Amino acid sequence: MNFEKAIEAIRHGKMILLYDAEDREGETDLVIPALSVTPSDVARMRRDGGGLICVSIYGKAADKLGLPFFSDILKSVSLNGHKSLRTLIEKKGDIPYDARSSFSLWVNHRDTFTGITDNDRALTINRIGETVDKVMKGKNIDFGEEFRSPGHVALLRAASGLLEERRGQTELSIVLALVAGISPSMVVCEMLDDRTGKALSKEDAKRYSMNHNMPFVEGKDIQGFRFQ
């Protein structure tokens, strides 16, 4: 039931809560379609979430836009003379819950000022959503015409095999978008607990979802969906 409510909310551009798994990060993220985000949504994420406000992008869209994994950028740069960057590259065992991170570039839209305000980040996120939507519909896009890097919005590139390859919030959120039939770019922000200094507990996240009438869905409820 929660899964159906979450899909319906996403179809209507509403925010949901998404929990990955106890054997992974054990975190709940606030999640909303990039095309639908408003400055007040950004304010809620930084206030009630507190983690990084990122945009997950479907791997196929990232390929069309030429958006690499940041770890691959470091590898390329270190091989071309910047040897000091080689020590920054992720090593086996660096991430206890996964083999690699999903981080790609950090960007601002070129029409933003500082890029960090709620208005600026909402603009950047909306335009990312529009860009992904256009490229998925077959349009040729020069990503650099609209965006500059470094910036204040982190892009996350979903694994090519989605949940068959990786079970992170990045892939889970993109699968939800695909099931809902919307453009596959989703905003995710971890919910943190300022009392414990840790991730917000699953129980407190569920309580938040009830108090704010937001569907709460778990990764285990999404595992059966397969997309390429």
Domain boundaries, the chain: 2-218
Q: Among candidates 159, 152, 166, which has minimal Cα distance to 52?
A: 152
Annotated catalytic sites, by residue? 29, 54, 97, 108, 152, 190
pLDDT of residue 71: 85
Is there a contact between 15 and 173 (Cβ–Cβ < 8 Å)? no
Output the pLDDT for position 99. Answer: 65
Give dist(CA 17, CA 46) in Å, integer: 14
User: pLDDT under 50 in the chain at which residues?
Assistant: none
What CATH number does the domain located at 2-218 have?
A: 3.90.870.10
Phi, psi of 155 (to 5 degrees): -95, 135
The residue written with tokens 């960057």 in the block is 85
Q: Which residues on adjacent β-strands are paired with residue 185?
A: 57
**What pTM was estimated for this model as a whole?**
0.93
| Antiparallel, parallel or unpaired: β 147-157 and 50-57 | parallel
Structure confidence at residue 49 (pLDDT): 98
At 43 the pLDDT is 98
Integer Cα distance of 165 and 190 in angstroms: 21
Residue given tokens 């590898």 in the structure block? 75
Strands (E) across the chain are located at 16-19, 28-33, 50-57, 103-109, 147-157, 185-193, 198-199, 216-218
Asked whether 192 and 198 are in contact (CB, 8 A), the reply is: yes
